[in-house]
Amino acid sequence: METDDIFLMVARVLYDKGYQEYVDAAAIVKQKYPNVSIELLGATDFSSPMGVPKSVLEKDIADGKITYLGVTNDVPSYLKRKNVIIVLSSYHEGMSRSLMEALAMSKPIITTNIPGCKEMVDEGVNGFLVPVKNASALANAMIKYIELSDEEKEKMKHASYQKAVKQFDVKHVLEQYDKIIDEIL
């Protein structure tokens, strides 16, 4: 079975963003689907203790596990491509901007079941949640997505957009702030 799905992680290239799990999952997925695109977009920080060393990143690229896209100020141009699924295997997050952007652009999400990420996914509806630091579970979720029918993938895309509108639209967020302020006063 061929796939034209593109898995994209938008994050700084740090271990605690789940870099190693993403790369390990990529290797597992590529055993079954060798032509799948597994991409990483984000800044490197070789001086950080959690930063992935340049030599490690270069080896993972050379081994064909991932495609590193570098850094951009125009993330939406990468998101708007057809068949993009956003993956974030982070260990800890605030409310993830990359995941909120993915929802707004009708992209399915595969992410870790942690605060800041799990709020973005209704399991099996607009994506999948996986345990932290579990490359095998991440790979299984990626394969599960690949093996969905085109109709099921379209439903996930639509569900992501609907979630963005219902939960993360600025008007809705402001209404919630107003409600909290009214309760306090």
Pairing of strands 84-88, 127-130: unpaired
* Predicted pLDDT of residue 51: 94
How does pLDDT run across 126-153, given as a tens digit for each residue?
999 999 999 999 999 999 999 999 999 9
CA count, 13 A, side-chain hemisphere, 131: 5
65 assigned to some structural domain: yes
* Predicted pLDDT of residue 3: 82
- At 108, which CATH number? 3.40.50.2000
Of 126, 124, 128, the closest CA to residue 156 belongs to 126
Number of compact structural domains in the chain: 1
1 assigned to some structural domain: no
Tokens of 52: 């992935």
Residue identified by tokens 């080896």 is: 59
69 assigned to some structural domain: yes
130 assigned to some structural domain: yes
Asked whether 121 and 128 are in contact (CB, 8 A), the reply is: yes
Range of the domain at 91: 6-184
Q: Which residues are paired to 6 by β-bridges?
A: 37, 84
pLDDT tens track, the chain, 185 positions: 678 999 999 999 999 999 999 999 999 999 999 999 999 999 999 999 999 999 999 999 999 999 999 999 999 899 999 999 999 999 998 788 889 889 999 999 999 999 989 999 999 999 999 999 999 999 999 999 999 999 999 999 999 999 998 887 666 656 665 677 777 87
In what order do the strands lie in the sheet containing 37-41? 67-70, 37-41, 6-10, 84-88, 109-112, 127-130
Question: Could you tell me which residues come within 8 angstroms of residue 53 by beta carbon, excluding any fewer than 6 positions away?
Answer: 46
160 assigned to some structural domain: yes
